[in-house]
Amino acid sequence: MHPEIFRKVAGHWLSGVSVVTSWDKDGKPVGMTMSAVTSLSLEPPQFLICVDNRAQTLPAIIASGSFCINYLRQDQEHLAAAFARRGADRFGALAFRAERTGAPVLEGAIAFIECTVNAVHPGGDHTIIVGDVVHGDAPGGEPLAYFRGGYRRLEGIIDPQQAWW
């Protein structure tokens, strides 16, 4: 499949937006915007992330052995943009904290999940990382979404209590 068609088709999958964080070998926080994250297993609890092989965050995750997936709130588009840029000081005045693994947990995220690296697999131009869940929480809020190359806000979210199913 031609890469342009592949991107077009893949872009039609609505996904959430997250910032995956870790620490580099010098003890500096690192992170990148990602939509290629998903829960993998309930027993044991695991998440999967797919990281571009060129990403500066990849060697940090592997070396530190841990990462945190921070689900962004709909008004955190500026964070998604900042963490998508290469070489920028992404953490600057950003508020974050360390919890169980020490990987940065971003203040204001609607949910976060901390993982330790269980397995690393090649996946074309990406690396697939399976993480064992250590800790997480979901303070709540409305999610930032990504669809057809742009950030979106969900409108008219169906209340599960009122859904037909």
Residue 30 belongs to a domain = yes
Joined together, the tokens standing for residue 105 give: 């947990």
Residue 140 belongs to a domain = yes
pLDDT tens string 50-77? 999 999 999 999 999 999 999 999 999 9
Structural domain for 63, as ranges: 16-153
Helix (H) or strand (E) holding 106: strand 104-106
Residue 164 belongs to a domain = no
Residue 161 has pLDDT above 80, yes or no: no
Which residue in 72, 30, 26 sits closest to 51, CA to CA? 30
Which residue in 22, 19, 21 sits closest to 80, CA to CA? 19
pLDDT tens string 82-131? 999 887 678 887 899 999 999 999 999 999 999 999 999 999 999 999 99
Tell me the average pLDDT of the chain. Answer: 90
Residue 58 belongs to a domain = yes
Residue 106 belongs to a domain = yes
Residues in the chain: 165
Residue 49 belongs to a domain = yes
Residue 162 belongs to a domain = no
Residue that wins the pLDDT comparison between 86 and 141:
141
Residue 102 belongs to a domain = yes
Q: What is the pTM of this model?
A: 0.90
Q: Residue 141 sits in a domain of what CATH number?
A: 2.30.110.10
pLDDT band at residue 157 using 50, 70 and 90 as cut-offs: low
Domain total in the chain: 1
